[in-house]
Amino acid sequence: MASVKRWVAVGLTACFVLALAYLPPRGAESSGKSPFVGQPLWGTPARQHAQALADGWRKVDATLRLLEDRQRVRRDSLRAGPTIVFHGATLPPNSVHNVETMIDSVWRDLGLGETKVRVTLVIELQRPYSSDTPTPLQDQVAYLAPDSTHRTTCLAYLPAGTYWTLVILGKRDARHEGFGRFEHWLQAGLGPCAFYAAYGTPGRPVESWLAARHWDVGLYLGSHGIAGERFSSLDLLGDPRSPWYWDGVYSFPPATVACLAGRPRGCRAAVLTGAAEERTIPIPNVVLVERRWWRVQHLLPGERYLGDIARTVGRDRFLSFWTSGQPVDTALALALKRPVGEWTADWERGFVRPIRLGPTPPLGGVAIALTIAVFAIVVVAGTASRRQIR
Amino acid sequence: MRTILVLLSVSGIPRVLIGQRWERQVQERVQRTIAAVGPSPRLPVVRRSGMLNTDEAASFQTTLAQHTPYAIIAVCDDDCSRLQLTLLSPSGSDIAKERNSESLPTLHFTAATTGVYGIRVVMEGCRWNPCWYAIAVVPLRKTPS
């Protein structure tokens, strides 16, 4: 009888180990290919190479444009708000005035007045397509941060695209819900420059940390959502009941997913990504925001993380973190007066109910597996009991 | 003529103040400090100003005349909490260092020989980067011995 019990124990343990190893995680679907996709979506190697070259050219082109603009821009010393420069078309004076009024209002909403680091917003209006020259960077936002040669200027390069170009030119009203409001677009466009304006140049550890992660936690200083009243990068994951929601979740690094599950250790790791190594800040210090920045975040909705910290802890404590010479985790924990992971997990719960992680066997699969397991155990037990010597 | 220029430079004659609030702050501050230490009317006051982030340093060179007492003063804006001021010999070695006076370090020095001396300023504490600073090398009236 003792032998039977041992066999049963071994069988159950083996089942458990196999389940642990092979059951799919929650929400995962089979990776069956669609019969409608005839060729790979990522293109041939030659095409990928051409796209990488074009991407490199666009980045260099954008950097040169930023440097040229920084040299050329003449500041209006009477204006506290950002200076605005338009590229791509000559605007009627009333359009320029409208945009300036709007950005001044955005500036005041952010609680900014005269700032040590001043912001210049270069708005690139959509140009007509030309086959003679490569298309310049028209859909990627870029920032030229202050450096030792220009300590008090932060330049934001904001491609307007077709929709906002028509709005700026007065040919279309910004009423379409899907695009949000014009002032939201301008406020989001300030990006890291809003942080430079509000809190000055960060200390070396913080600047290095932000550079390592492409400023994904400091893209938006406002208190609304980045593209509307409550819209954040979390909304781009879609409905949690849809299959692509889980595809989206599992496309992020493990620490990001763990933080979505409300685990403080995961949140800490997600926040401190890039904080371990001290990088040399290049000159010129160009921050190129990824086209689909919401897909490469280490924290969701990371774009407002530092803005929310600043609002929570107050200006003085945030400044002490921002300019600190201590490692990021120490400086941040001091400013928050709590461990980083715990504070961030609570912050995360304010946006999303913690997702449940771990394996989830499908119901049919469980029934079949249990039937097979019970059958196997019965067979083994029967065989073992017949072979016992009494 | 030279005397008039020096007097104009250190007196309280209103100047067109341009630039940011913090720049104006340090210019006014250094102006008041120069007036307070009592500059010699015979020699010009050398002034430098700029911006630094925390832990950054800037330096410049100036000629100091033999047997002339100098006050070397540095001021910074309201966001600056600590400024270090160092006087360097023509060979580059430290002659004097002042880091205890927080945002108003001052050095007094009389050069034994005329030469080009270095002055280095280090922004040791700035709560809102960058912080403005201004330095003035003020020749003082010689006290009768």
Sequence ranges of the domains in chain A: 46-199, 202-280+289-374
Q: Please give the residue of chain B at the shortest CA–CA distance from A76.
A: B19
**Given a cut of 50, is residue B2 above it in pLDDT?**
no
For the stretch A165-174, pLDDT in tens is 888 888 877 6
Q: CB contact, 8 Å: B20 with chain A? A: yes
- Residue A137: pLDDT band with limits 50, 70, 90: low
- CB pair distance less than 8 Å for B51 and A151: yes
Tell me whether strands A118-125 and A83-87 are parallel, antiparallel or unpaired: parallel
Contacts for A303 with CB less than 8 Å, ≥ 6 apart: A216, A217, A219, A220, A226, A232, A233, A293, A294, A297
- CB pair distance less than 8 Å for A152 and B20: yes
- Residue A40: pLDDT band with limits 50, 70, 90: low
Separation in Å, CA of B63 to nearest CA in chain A: 26
B77 CB neighbour count, 10 Å cutoff: 23
Q: Which of A114, A200, A320 sits opposite B129 (nearest CB)?
A: A200
A160-164 average pLDDT score: 86
Check: CB of residue B31 under 8 Å from CB of residue B134. Answer: no
Share of chain A above pLDDT 90, in %: 35
Four-way CATH pick for B2-139: 2.60.40.420, 3.30.930.10, 3.40.30.10, 2.60.120.380: 2.60.120.380
Tell me whether strands A153-160 and A142-144 are parallel, antiparallel or unpaired: antiparallel
A160 membership: H or E segment, kind and range: strand A153-160
Check: CB of residue A111 under 8 Å from CB of residue A311. Answer: no
Cα separation, B46 vs A40, in Å, equals: 70
A6 membership: H or E segment, kind and range: helix A2-22
For the stretch A351-363, pLDDT in tens is 888 888 877 777 8
Largest CA distance in chain A: 105
Cα separation, A227 vs A234, in Å, equals: 12
Q: CB contact, 8 Å: A201 with chain B? A: yes
Residue labelled with tokens 């600047």: A207
Tokens for A257, please give them.
């997913």
Please name which of A311, A314, A305, A316 lies closest in space to residue A340, comparing C-alpha atoms: A305
For the stretch B66-112, pLDDT in tens is 999 999 999 999 999 999 999 999 888 999 888 777 778 899 999 98
Check residue A127 and give its pLDDT: 74
**Given a cut of 90, is residue B60 above it in pLDDT?**
yes
| Cis? peptide before B44, omega within 30° of 0 | no
Question: Which of B18, B23, B55, B128 to mutate: most A Cβ within 10 Å?
Answer: B128
Q: CB contact, 8 Å: A135 with chain B? A: no
Q: How far is CA A139 from the centre of its chain?
A: 17
Cα separation, A20 vs A223, in Å, equals: 42
Check residue B12 and give its pLDDT: 39
Check residue A36 and give its pLDDT: 46
Task: Name which of A76-90, A307-321, A325-339, B68-82 the model is least confident about.
Answer: A76-90
* ipTM > 0.90 (yes/no): no
Please name which of A170, A192, A217 lies closest in space to residue A348, comparing C-alpha atoms: A217
Higher-scoring residue by pLDDT: B28, A61: B28
Task: Name which of A36-50, B21-35, B64-78 the model is least confident about.
Answer: A36-50
Q: CB contact, 8 Å: A114 with chain B? A: yes
Mean pLDDT, chain A, integer = 83
Q: Name the CA dihedral angle for A113, A114, A115, A121, rounded to a multiple of 10 degrees.
A: 80
- CB pair distance less than 8 Å for A323 and B22: no
Task: Name which of A238-242, A262-266, A349-353 the model is least confident about.
Answer: A238-242
- CB pair distance less than 8 Å for B127 and A152: no
Q: At what angle do helices A305-313 and A182-199 cross, to 10 degrees?
A: 60
Q: From the CA atom positions of chain A, what is the Rg in Å?
A: 27
**Phi first, then psi: what are they for A91, rounded to 5°?**
-95, 145
B131 membership: H or E segment, kind and range: strand B131-139
Q: What is the pTM of this model?
A: 0.81
